[in-house]
Amino acid sequence: MAAPEFKVPEFREFPSVPALVPGSMAHSKPYVASEKVQEGIGLPGQLVDNWEAKAIEKFGELLGKYRSLRVFMDSCVHCGACTDKCHYFIGTGDPKNMPVARQELMRSVYRRYFTLPGKLFPKLVGARDMTREVLDEWFSYFWQCSECRRCSVFCPYGIDTAEVTMAARHIMDSIGHGQKYSNEILGKVHKIGNNLGLPGPALENTLEGLEEDVKDDTGVDVKYPLDVQGAEVLLVTPSADFFAEPHIESLIGYGKVFHAAGISWTLSSYASEAGNFGLFNGDYAMMRKVAMRIREQALELGVKRIVVGECGHAWRVAYAFWNTLTGIGNNGTDPFSVELQKQLDPRYKEPSHICEFTWDLIQQGRLKFDKEANDSRIITFHDSCNVARASRMGDRPGGQFDIPRSIIKAVANKYVDMAPDTVREKTFCCGGGGGVLTDDLLELRVKGAFPRMEALKQVQEQHGVNFMATICAICKAQFSKVLPYYGFNMRMVGGVHQLVSTAIRLGDEQ
């Protein structure tokens, strides 16, 4: 690994509020999307004429549409409870990475254009005009937020900085100042169907290769079916599962679960992406467009159930938005939604997470495991933000925390949790979520991973932990990249279904 051009934070004996380093991350900015990328997804190619007024117009439109945004703009009392809760502030010391300061970037503009005191006495109330300087600051610091929502857990008013970030990015997109990484990915989904731009034939080859590998490994014909009409389950999973390490190990695990339980399933070459970067840009129309591919395929293939693979934000979108945006789930009233609801198994009208699916089967006694097969691993679990703080699993509160842990304990003997203030609803982001998983933001990613790395170090030293399981494609990619910066082996991260895959008995082994 090449030496970093920035200083990696050092582990502390006693985690405390970091010393302030004003402006230390002012230089951090992602690449701006090119004209081609912007126009490819229907956005202005470059900064539009009169962009200042257009930005304010868009801001006003969002305030009218989303009452939450107006409440968030109006209700902060500057109590300071959120200030030291953001992993980017803890890792960088830059005061503008305090959640309240991030909000202030937008709130100061809000005051100027949407409040009377701000219109009359801007200086007195800290109101700012929308200027190029402000836009540059927005582009820098709203791309230093992974929309993880940790700060909102500690805010007495429930102010959600993630929503503020989403609104700011949406405004910037609308005036032609988008982020290259996220908008390029959205373009690939629209055109090809997945974030990686992997066309159908390549997908088919990959899955055939996987079947051969699993056969070599286990002697069993586990299938990884594609575009099978009439399958019971449509599995939509992050496209990283098709080729990236360690992601593919979980895909192997999903296939083994379906095989062992004798349930027919299929992947889709048209809806080959569960991830949805429309969320990161706060653009619900974009999010809908991406998600509609899944509804279309569910109808086309005639499946009875839709299951979502290991991906944090994909599960958030499926759990919280598919219903209202696409009619996957109860209550959709357009003819396609109604048709889909008739088609789906009445027990599973809502999408299921692969962990819910596997845990159901375990509880029914339909899966058997050799737990000892995982004995070389001392495992901990990293809760992914979008699962932890923006969704649920199962029929009990906290299922999103308990179900993945229950699966791990069913397939492995050695498990320990990290420190309580770093897991479950207080989990720290991996540092790469929300559209910042790009090498132009590597410094931010490494520094943002610091709190999680500290918690991991603690369980490594105290319990010998050598495997951190997670159920998010972004967390897997981010940790594989940043673990070595902190002296860990990049291979110590993997999926929950990687552990399932290791221990599952397929029933027909040779």
Interface residue list for ligand SF4 (CB under 6 A): 76-82, 85-86, 88, 99-100, 102, 145-151, 155, 157, 159, 161-162, 165, 429
Q: How far is the CB of 452 from ligand SF4 (least distance, A)?
A: 13
Nearer to ligand SF4, 159 or 286 (CB): 159
How many CB atoms neighbour CB 14 within 10 A? 4
Nearer to ligand SF4, 356 or 454 (CB): 454
Nearer to ligand SF4, 166 or 378 (CB): 166
Residue 176 CA to residue 51 CA, distance in Å, equals 9
Residue 190 CA to residue 273 CA, distance in Å, equals 11
Residue 358 CA to residue 405 CA, distance in Å, equals 12
Residue 271 host element (H or E): none
Sign of CA dihedral 266, 268, 272, 273: negative
Report the DSSP pairing between strands 467-470 and 493-495: parallel
Range list of β-strands (E), 280-400: 305-308, 352-353, 379-381
Nearer to ligand SF4, 192 or 387 (CB): 387
Q: How far is the CB of 221 from ligand SF4 (least distance, A)?
A: 45
Residue 74 host element (H or E): helix 67-75
Nearer to ligand SF4, 118 or 494 (CB): 118
Which two structure tokens, joined as six digits, stand for 483?
Answer: 């673990």
Nearer to ligand SF4, 147 or 443 (CB): 147
Q: How far is CA 256 from CA 104, 215, 250, 308, 507, in A?
A: 49, 11, 10, 16, 10
Q: How far is the CB of 306 from ligand SF4 (least distance, A)?
A: 28
Q: How far is the CB of 287 from ligand SF4 (least distance, A)?
A: 18
Residue 293 CA to residue 325 CA, distance in Å, equals 12
Q: How far is the CB of 82 from ligand SF4 (least distance, A)?
A: 3
Residue 36 CA to residue 191 CA, distance in Å, equals 14
Nearer to ligand SF4, 37 or 477 (CB): 477
Query: 464 exposed, middle or buried (CB, 10 Å; 0-12, 13-18, 19+)?
Result: exposed
Q: Map residue 233 onto helix, strand or coil.
A: strand
How many CB atoms neighbour CB 324 within 10 A? 13
Residue 283 host element (H or E): none
Nearer to ligand SF4, 81 or 410 (CB): 81
Q: How far is the CB of 385 from ligand SF4 (least distance, A)?
A: 7
Nearer to ligand SF4, 79 or 285 (CB): 79
Nearer to ligand SF4, 258 or 321 (CB): 321
Nearer to ligand SF4, 166 or 500 (CB): 166
Q: How far is CA 280 from CA 169, 390, 477, in A?
A: 8, 13, 17
Q: How far is the CB of 447 from ligand SF4 (least distance, A)?
A: 12
Q: How far is the CB of 142 from ligand SF4 (least distance, A)?
A: 9
Q: How far is the CB of 48 from ligand SF4 (least distance, A)?
A: 27
- Contact between 161 and 85 under an 8 Å Cβ cutoff? The reply is no
Nearer to ligand SF4, 344 or 474 (CB): 474
- Contact between 322 and 337 under an 8 Å Cβ cutoff? The reply is no
Q: How far is the CB of 144 from ligand SF4 (least distance, A)?
A: 8
Question: At 236, phi and psi to the nearest 5?
Answer: -110, 130
How many CB atoms neighbour CB 149 within 10 A? 22
- Contact between 478 and 508 under an 8 Å Cβ cutoff? The reply is no
The two most distant CA atoms of the chain are separated, in Å, by: 80
Q: How far is the CB of 224 from ligand SF4 (least distance, A)?
A: 35
Q: Map residue 100 onto helix, strand or coil.
A: helix
Q: How far is the CB of 78 from ligand SF4 (least distance, A)?
A: 5
Residue 26, CA atoms < 13 Å, CB-side half-sphere = 10
Q: How far is the CB of 145 from ligand SF4 (least distance, A)?
A: 3
Nearer to ligand SF4, 72 or 369 (CB): 72
Mark out the alpha helices in 177-309 (DSSP H runs). 180-192, 200-218, 247-261, 284-301
